[in-house]
Amino acid sequence: MNLLWIILALIGGFLVLRMFFPGRPGLDLASAKAALQSGAAVLVDVREPGEWRSGVARQAAMLPLSDLRGSRAQWRDFLEKNPGKKLLLYCQSVTRSGLAAAQLRGEGVDAVNVGSLRDWDRAGWPVCTPKGLR
C-alpha cells in the first residue's frame, strides 16, 4: 500500500514540474530556420514589451504572453493573418515560450517552443533592436 502512495506521489510531482517547467525546446534551430525560410512558419517573441529593447530575432513578431493570456488585442489579428502556419515561439529563458506553445496547441494551433533569444543569437541568427524601441 505504501508503494502505491509513493508511485502516485512521484507521478503527481512529475506532473506539477511539467506544469511549471514546460520549457524544453520542441524544434531544433536549424529546422526552425528552414521552416521560416520556406514560409511555412512564423517566428514569435513572447517576451514583454520592455524586454524587446534588448533586441529581438530579425523577422520575429512581437506578441507578449500577457496578451495571449489576456485580451488578445494583438494575438487575435496575428492568428487570423497566419492560418495554417507553424508558430515558432521564443522568450528569454524558454519557459514562457513553452507555456504559450502549450496553450496554443491546446487551441488547435501548430505552435512549438524553439528556445530563447540567446539560443538564436548563439546560432548566428540576426538579432536587432526594433525601430521605435531604441
Q: What is the DSSP string of the chain?
A: -HHHHHHHHHHHHHHHHHHH---S-SS-HHHHHHHHHHTSEEEEE-S-GGGGGG-EETT-EE--HHHHHTT-TTHHHHHHHSTTPEEEEEESSSHHHHHHHHHHHHTT--EEEEEEHHHHHHTT--EEPPTT--
The series of mean pLDDT values per 10 residues for the chain, 134 residues long, is 69 50 64 90 96 92 97 97 95 93 96 91 87 67
Model confidence, pTM? 0.80
Domain borders along the chain are 23-128
What pLDDT score does 99 carry? 95
Closest CA to 27 of 109, 86, 93, 108: 86
Just give the CATH number of 23-128: 3.40.250.10
What pLDDT score does 110 carry? 96
What pLDDT score does 20 carry? 45
